[in-house]
Chain A
Amino acid sequence: MEKREMRVIFRQVVSILICAAVAGFAINLVHPKGYDFVSRENNKMEKTISITAGEAYIKHIHGAAVFVDTRDDDVYQESHIKGAVNVPSFPEPLSIEKIGAMKQTLFSDKELVLYCDTGCDSAKEIAVRLYARGYVRHIYILKDGMGGWNDKGYPTE
């Protein structure tokens, strides 16, 4: 077979593959059973689960989870969920240092329940840092934070 002929065939192969790829991704955009392409950071955040105070309390009374208070140290000292440890989300260097120091507690067999005051952006930041350091399991985030826990009258210290 001539070189010219092979070159033409090769160009045709590439054209067919490109057409298939374009058609595939175009249809995928509207396909109900298609794939979503998300950033790795968002993908890791997909592993966090929001739970209510009642659901968290069940884990608490059975000792199935480590509760992590992600607020500042002075707020934590005032009042926190009974048995919770403190890993503040701010400032970041302190937060990372604390995660390192408490790695054995945080990466134990128990589940993790993170909480903050109410909105819980700081809890999500701690979750991202934990995933970045190799945490692979689901992380639970207390939906209404300390506020929701207090409303239910669950134990604090």
Chain B
Amino acid sequence: MIKDILQSDGSEIKSGKYEKDSMESVKSIISNIIHGSRVVSAMRIVTGMLFVYSGIMKIIDPAAFGKVIVMYDIVPAVMVPYIAIVLPFVETLVGLFLMTGFRIKAVALIAMTMMVAFSIAIAVNVVRGRSFDCGCFELGRFGISEDVSIYLVLRDGVLFLFFLLLFHVKRNYYSLDNVREKNGLYNIS
């Protein structure tokens, strides 16, 4: 495409041909991703590992996770123990299923909901002017700050878009769903 531009007499630019080509290229890339991309599948596995890690860290110390939930000051105190007990297991299961590529659409839907909830909780506390460790992916141990900030809201937004993409992908590499579909065990990928 760049070679064409250099060799043109300018008429193609005037007619908007290159803009149309760019749009077509972008559409083609998105279409390729939707129909199956090894890069997206690899990202799925890495994200799954992250969820498993953070879920297990929370399972190890639910009381500490409960204290983090209290810091957000959003849910009633009576609900804190239930969330501290159940959410880490949801996170771990979602991570395991993402890694193995099992029930991808269902876990992508759960993950999207989680990202929306976390984004709202973090955004509310950013507006309140509070700063504390968000308790998201337990990355503080690796020197990665997870203090409540607009950066985390953006990060969760990006993750939401990734899971939205994952929900619509028609073919997932390195996945149990793919194996089952190939063997004709069920129709949903």
Contacts and interface: CB of A to CB of B under 8 A. Distances in A.
A12 B106 contact: yes
Given A5-B188, A35-B81, A20 B86 contact: yes
B153 interface: no
Interface in A20-55: 20-21, 23-25, 27-28, 31, 33-35, 37
A16 B89 CA distance: 10
A27 B93 CA distance: 14
A21 B86 contact: yes
Contacts, number: 58
Interface in B46-62: 59-62
In this complex, the member of B63, B89, B103 whose beta carbon has the largest number of chain A beta carbons within 10 angstroms is B89
A121 B88 CA distance: 41
A13 B110 contact: yes
Interface of B is mostly: helix
Q: How large is the interface on B (under 10, 10 to 19, 20 to 34, 35 or more residues)?
A: 20 to 34
Interface string B91-126: 011100100000101110110000000000000000
Interface of B: 59-64, 66, 81, 84-86, 88-90, 92-94, 97, 103, 105-107, 109-110, 188
A19 interface: yes
A17 interface: yes
A16 B62 contact: no
Contacts of B90: 16-17, 20
Nearest to B105: A9
A35 B63 contact: yes
A122 to B, nearest CB: 30
Contact of B61 (A12, A23, A33): A33
